Chains A and B, each alone.
Chain A
Amino acid sequence: MNIELLCQYLIAGLTYGTIYAIVAIGFNIIYNTTGIINFAQGEFVMLGGMLAVTLDAFFPLPAAIAGAVIITMLAGALIEIGFIRWLKSPSVLRMVMITIGLSIVIKAAALAIWGEGVKSLPYFTGTAVTVISMGDVHVSPQILWVIGASGLIVALLTFFFNHTLLGRQMRACAANMDAARLCGIDAKNMVTLSFVLSAGIGALAGCVVCPITYVQYDSGTNLAIKGFTVAILGGLGNSTAAIAAGLMLGILESLSIWILPTAFKDVIAITILLLILFVRPSGIFGNAEAARLKEF
């Protein structure tokens, strides 16, 4: 093992970790307003990537990405309005099944539209072989894009939830749906908004990683499991902790390649998920009581 290689692995881990964190934040936004875990969360990421690849053929890259994010947000809204809004206090089991069913349908639709092929966006800056060198460590500029975009998402969300009326209304709904309703907040629209937001950041994350990780009709499932692991690791609903947990998981996974065959890389994340669920379902950072206090 040498230091350069270690740094290389760390950076790869950080890249994946940020994406996991973004997916986890997507889970958290919907969970906080509705108490639902959206099992179709990974599909938003896949849709973002796929749509951007398609639109990229007709528009310049920034427009393609914007278009992909907007279309995915619309899909998010459509899912909430069509399948969730009008259910009266559905059981958790029912919601799990509905969102799983939707994820299957989205995946099948993606397969029908885009086929089984692996697709990719061009690198935002330079090409696949462009590197920025820092000493002996070489980094693809795309990695900086991923980390930058994720940072921007987190900053914007923080601003939105803390300093805008709409964001505060959503937080009110998360804290106490009934009380929020009594204050005249349209809780139903807030739930729709949470799906739209969640779809949007998922899609954006899907776009920026697409050049590195590629996208395929079923690449959402794996991301969803990782994202959920991270969300649980940080304590469901706690997005600040999710960022830390995401980075941890990413690095752990990438270092695991040293000890285990690559085929078992995914097993690491899931084993961690199971262990956390068994030992500390409230997450490593939270305690049981804090887990009940929902914050974004």
Chain B
Amino acid sequence: MARAKYVQILLLAACVIVVQLAATAADKTQYLTQLTMAGYYSMVIIGLSLLMGYTGQISLGHAGFFAIGGYTSAFLTTYNLLPHKDAPAVTVLAQCGMLLSGKDLYDADILVVQPWAACIAAVLITLAVAYVIGRPVLKLKGHYLAMATLGFGTIVYKMVLGTSLVGAADGLSDIPAFQLFPGLSLSGKSSLRIQNYYIAWGLVIVGVTLLLNLIHSRVGRGLRAIHGAEDAANAMGVDTAAFKLRIFVVSAVYAALGGVFLTHFNGGIGPSEASIMKSVHYVAIVAIGGMANLWGALTMGVALNFLSLRGYFGSHDDSVFGLILVAVMLFAPEGIGSTGAPTMIRAWIKRLGAREEPAP
């Protein structure tokens, strides 16, 4: 099993490279832009797949976490601290090297928070919100849980829409680039397109690897036990409530990271990223790819987001997602990841991995 995991990750990395080479060779590098964005959305989807598949919890509020990540990062990296330069808090931040001086569009001096510090803040805030919301929410089941998460998502949406500090209906724009390492910069400039494609997919590969590690561990076994028979898992010493909460927090942080990165890549974020429709899209994609099926969810996440971002569904985006969701739930409730061809591919990968594994 452990080997199969690495084979899968290597195959994913190979796919990422092949796609880039093919796009460059065919002179269609503009496709890489949508694939980059699809990669960031996939962060939400793989986290949600873990939550839905391994704990049986639904969340109709993950766009909220994506937005919390994106907006925190956007706000901190654009809000001018210069007028508050002498406030003690700002001085402390400056001494810690967390601030960045620059120029805005009109060439005026501004003082903002460094992207990396904003990113950490975004993750920490998401962590805290997910923890506070998750504790009571995860005690609920079924419809109650669905509605509670929907409620959370709606609150985030209405808050960003109604708060002028974060641009209300216009959202925030002119988000600076995020210098990850010298020479590696997260931004939407077309000259940096290939670089950014690799940043996005590097993040996804790291994200997937961490989740696969988790699934194939003591914790993953505990999660599967919770999904199978919660009372029995609890009687065996698994702190089921804590496990569910942690998975919820992990998936929220994945969503927030997707939000932070995409915001820097797009150079802006708007309230639509927090909308309930977005959350429903994410849930639909996970359901279509198959819950508890990371690869199915990832594949569907990239495919559907790519098609949607390229505009193949035209103005029928929502109806396409709605129809697919209904159809999959009616005819293949385990997701299309569990039908025919995908199952064969998985079995093949497993064999490929097993070949090198000594017999137990």
Q: Please, which residues of chain A bring their CB within 8 A of the CB of B318?
A: 104, 107-108
Q: Are B322 and A263 in contact (CB under 8 A)?
A: no
Cβ-defined contact, B158 with A98, below 8 A: no
| Choice from A97, A264, A274 contacting B287 with Cβ under 8 Å | A97
Q: 1/0 per position for B113-153, CB-CB distance to A under 8 A?
A: 00000000000000000000000110111111011101110
Please, how many angstroms separate the alpha-carbon atoms of A267 and B274 in the complex? 14
Rounded to whole angstroms, the CA-CA distance of A278 and B151 in the bound complex is: 12
A266 touches B284 (CB 8 A): no
Question: In the complex, what residue of chain B is closest to A91 when comparing beta carbons?
Answer: B333
Whether A97 lies near B325 (C-beta < 8 A) is yes
A20-B333 Cα distance, complex, nearest whole Å: 33
Residues B147 and A37 in contact, CB atoms below 8 Å apart: yes
With the chains together, A109 CA to B276 CA distance in Å?
18
Contact of A266 (CB < 8 Å), options: B140, B154, B325:
B154
Highest count of chain A CB atoms <10 Å: which of B52, B140, B329? B329
B45 on interface, CB distance cutoff 8 Å: no
Interface size grouping (class) on chain B: 35 or more
- Do the beta carbons of A225 and B326 come within 8 Å of each other? no
Contact flag A273-B147 (CB < 8 Å), given A97-B329, A104-B322, A105-B319: yes
By a CB distance below 8 angstroms, the chain B residues around A91 are: 333
Nearest A residue to B316 by beta-carbon distance?
A108
**Does B161 touch A at the CB level, under 8 Å?**
yes
| Nearest opposing residue in chain B for A27, CB measure | B143
Residues of A within 8 A of B146 (CB): 37, 39, 96
Tell which of A93, A221, A270 has the most Cβ of chain B within 10 Å. A93
Contact present for B142 and A92 (CB under 8 Å): yes
| A263 lies within 8 A of B161 (CB) | yes
CB distance from A50 to the nearest CB of B (A): 17
Closest-CB distance, B161 to chain A (whole angstroms): 7
Q: A94-B329, A261-B162, A267-B159 are in contact. Are A101 and B322 (CB under 8 A)?
A: yes
A85, chain B: closest CB distance, angstroms: 11
User: When the two chains form their complex, are residues B162 and A264 in contact, meaning their CB atoms are under 8 A apart?
Assistant: yes
User: Do B148 and A277 have beta carbons less than 8 Å apart?
Assistant: yes
Q: When the two chains form the complex, which single residue of B152, B158, B325 contacts A100, counting CB atoms closer than 8 Å?
A: B325
Q: Which residues of A contact B140 (CB under 8 A)?
A: 277, 281
CB neighbours of A100 from chain B (8 A): 60, 280, 283, 325
Decide if B229 is an interface residue (CB 8 Å cutoff).
no
Q: Which residue of A lies closest to B281 (CB)?
A: A104
B116 to chain A, nearest CB (A): 32
From residue 80 to 98 of chain A, which have CB atoms closer than 8 A to chain B? 83, 87, 90-94, 96-98
In the complex, what distance in Å separates the CA atom of A108 from the CA atom of B154? 20
Cβ-defined contact, B326 with A270, below 8 A: no
Report A-chain residues with C-beta under 8 Å of the C-beta of B323. Answer: 101, 105
Instruction: Establish whether residues B162 and A273, one from each chain, have CB atoms under 8 Å apart when the complex forms.
Output: no
A271 touches B287 (CB 8 A): no
Look across to chain A and name the residue whose beta carbon is closest to the beta carbon of B135. A278
Beta-carbon nearest neighbor of A92 in chain B: B142
The residues of A that contact B143 with a CB separation of less than 8 Å are: 37, 92, 96, 236
Supposing A87-B330, A108-B318, A274-B152 touch, asked if A93 and B144 sit within 8 A by C-beta, the answer is: no
Please determine whether A278 and B136 come into contact, CB atoms closer than 8 angstroms. yes
Residues on the A chain within 8 Å of B330, using CB:
83, 87, 98
Q: Which residues of A contact B60 (CB under 8 A)?
A: 100
| A74 interface residue per 8 A CB criterion | no
- Is B321 an interface residue when CB atoms closer than 8 A count as contact? yes
Cβ contact within 8 Å between A228 and B147: yes
Query: What 1/0 flags go to B55-92 for Cβ under 8 Å of A?
Result: 01010100000000000000000000000000000000
Within the assembled complex, what's the spacing in Å between the Cα atoms of A278 and B283? 23
A102 adjacent to chain B (CB < 8 Å): yes
Contact partners of A98 in chain B: CB under 8 A: 325-326, 329-330
Distance in Å: Cβ of B205 to nearest Cβ of chain A: 29
As a 0/1 sequence over residues 268 to 284 of chain A, the CB contacts with chain B under 8 angstroms (1 = contact) are: 00110110011001000
Asked whether A147 is an interface residue with its Cβ less than 8 Å from the other chain, the reply is no
Cα(A267)–Cα(B162), bound, Å: 10
Contact mask A50-92 → B, CB, 8 Å, 1/0?
A: 0000000000000000000000000000000001000100111
B155 at the interface (CB under 8 A from A): yes
Q: Is A232 an interface residue (CB 8 A)?
A: yes
Q: Find out whether the CB atom of B319 lies under 8 angstroms from the CB atom of A108.
A: yes
**CA A263 – CA B158 in complex, angstroms?**
7
Within the complex, what minimum Cβ distance (angstroms) separates A206 from chain B?
A: 20
Across the interface, A101 reaches (CB within 8 A) one of B136, B161, B326, namely B326
| Minimum Cβ distance to chain B for residue A112 (Å) | 8
Top 8 A-B pairs, shortest CB-CB distance:
A263-B162, A104-B322, A108-B319, A101-B326, A101-B325, A278-B136, A92-B142, A37-B143
Given contacts A83-B326, A104-B321, 4 further A-B contacts (CB under 8 A): A101-B322, A104-B325, A105-B323, A225-B151
Would you mind naming 20 contact pairs between A and B with Cβ atoms under 8 Å apart? A39-B146, A83-B330, A91-B333, A96-B143, A97-B325, A98-B329, A100-B60, A101-B284, A101-B322, A101-B323, A104-B319, A107-B318, A112-B319, A225-B154, A263-B161, A266-B158, A267-B155, A273-B148, A277-B148, A277-B151
Residues of A within 8 A of B (CB): 37, 39, 83, 87, 90-94, 96-98, 100-105, 107-109, 112, 221, 225, 228, 232, 236, 261, 263-264, 266-267, 270-271, 273-274, 277-278, 281
B residues near A, CB below 8 A?
Answer: 52, 56, 58, 60, 136-137, 139-144, 146-148, 150-152, 154-155, 158-159, 161-162, 276-277, 280, 283-284, 287, 316, 318-319, 321-323, 325-326, 329-330, 333
